[in-house]
């Protein structure tokens, strides 16, 4: 019987995920001293590879950890992993780089240590026909995360607690609010549409720069007006449409916030156009020759 768990990559070796092991002294395990990235794969083809790995490189710089690979080396690792896991399916790749392992537990950086590099593939979550027809629900929560949310750090306990609070309320996402301003979701970027204008908060230390968010803004250019500015909680609740975006979900409609409907309470026309634009973008990816740089 074949192993139901996929192949992964750990420190230069491809192996079954069930056989992957790291030391309990790894600083990612002890301190959350690590960063990560998530890359969607459609039909075996990586989507927005350079944008995602530019963000990984930035996160590594911000925690003063040297990038263990060039973009092309990363691409080679991921290409082989995708092939080992069937090649042609929709999936997402999770990449984590920690500062590595030392003998002991010291808060200061170790003098010499080799980073731990881990990569795995997982099936892409499915957005059902029912969800497409009805949209998602969300709750709002006051921000209690650390001050550098622009770094894609694995220190995600606050986000985990927020996501669970949303799940406890029967919602799909928690929208994070600080000082009356909507920042992002616990695992997503956020947009509103009001009067035909697409609005999303500006990047800051309180917000993770979203690659899918940027792709959505690019698709919306010349289609509708765009404003990059703060969004008050009252604006969110009064919006015609609310969207969230993430690497594993493209852009999804939020039709209820804190139990109250957004707009008509159904996915709106602007989101339907955006969803079609993402489908066309995927098709362009499928039609691009496999050896095209930057695919």
CA dihedral of residues 59, 61, 66, 71 (deg, nearest 10): 60
CATH architecture classification, 129-282: Alpha-Beta Barrel (3.20)
pLDDT of amino acid 86: 86
Domain spans of the chain, in order of start: 7-123, 129-282
DSSP 158-226: HHHHHHHHHHHTT-SEEEEEETTEEEEETTBEEEEEETTEEEEPPPBTTBPPPHHHHHHHHHHTTTS-E
CA angle at 119 for the pair 243 and 248, rounded to the nearest 5°: 15
pLDDT of amino acid 2: 46
Distance CA 176, CA 71 (A): 32
pLDDT of amino acid 130: 86
Give catalytic residues, as residue numbers. 152
Q: Is 67 exposed, middle or buried (0-12, 13-18, 19+ CB in 10 A)?
A: middle
Distance CA 186, CA 175 (A): 6
pLDDT of amino acid 128: 85
The pair of three-digit structure tokens given for residue 137, joined into one six-digit string: 């629900």
Per-position pLDDT tens, the chain of length 295: 345 569 999 999 999 999 999 999 999 999 999 999 999 999 889 999 999 999 999 999 999 999 999 999 999 999 999 999 988 788 999 999 999 999 989 999 998 889 999 999 999 888 888 888 899 999 999 999 999 999 999 999 999 999 999 999 999 999 999 999 999 999 999 999 999 999 999 999 999 999 999 999 999 998 999 999 999 999 999 999 999 999 998 999 999 999 999 999 999 999 999 999 998 888 887 556 544 433 3
pLDDT of amino acid 111: 86
Distance CA 92, CA 76 (A): 16
Distance CA 232, CA 236 (A): 7
pLDDT of amino acid 141: 98
CA distances from 166 to 12, 93, 246 (A): 38, 25, 17
pLDDT of amino acid 144: 97
The distance of Cα 249 from the centroid of its chain, to the nearest Å, equals 9
pLDDT of amino acid 3: 53
CATH class of the 7-123 domain in this structure: alpha beta
pLDDT of amino acid 283: 81
pLDDT of amino acid 286: 59
Given a contact cutoff of 8 angstroms between Cβ atoms, the answer to whether 247 and 272 are in contact is: no
């Amino acid at each position: 019987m074949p192993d139901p768990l996929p192949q992964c990559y750990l420190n230069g070796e491809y192996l079954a995920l069930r056989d992957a092991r790291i030391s309990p002294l790894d600083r990612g395990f002890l301190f959350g001293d690590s960063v990560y990235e998530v890359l969607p794969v459609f039909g075996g083809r990586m989507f927005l590879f350079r944008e995602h790995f530019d963000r990984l490189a930035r996160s590594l710089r911000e925690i003063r950890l040297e990038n263990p690979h060039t973009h092309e080396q990363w691409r080679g690792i991921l290409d082989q992993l995708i092939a080992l896991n069937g090649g042609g399916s929709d999936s997402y790749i999770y990449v984590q780089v920690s500062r590595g392992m030392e003998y002991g537990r010291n808060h200061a950086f170790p003098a010499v240590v080799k980073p731990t590099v881990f990569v795995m593939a997982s099936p892409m979550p499915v957005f059902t026909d029912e969800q497409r027809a009805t949209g998602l629900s969300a709750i709002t929560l006051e921000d209690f995360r650390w001050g550098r949310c622009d770094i894609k750090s694995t220190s995600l306990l606050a986000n985990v607690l927020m996501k669970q609070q949303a799940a406890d309320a029967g919602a799909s996402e928690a929208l994070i609010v600080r000082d009356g301003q909507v920042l992002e979701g616990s695992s997503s970027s956020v947009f509103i549409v009001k009067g035909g204008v697409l609005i999303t908060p500006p990047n800051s230390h309180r917000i993770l720069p979203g690659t899918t968010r940027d792709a959505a803004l690019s698709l919306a250019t010349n289609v509708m007006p765009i404003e990059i500015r703060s969004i008050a909680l009252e604006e969110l609740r009064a919006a015609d449409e609310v969207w969230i975006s993430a690497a594993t979900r493209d852009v999804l409609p939020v039709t209820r916030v804190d139990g109250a409907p957004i707009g008509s309470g159904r996915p709106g026309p602007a989101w339907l156009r955006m969803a079609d634009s993402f489908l066309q973008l995927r098709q362009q990816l499928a039609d691009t020759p496999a050896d095209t740089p930057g695919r």
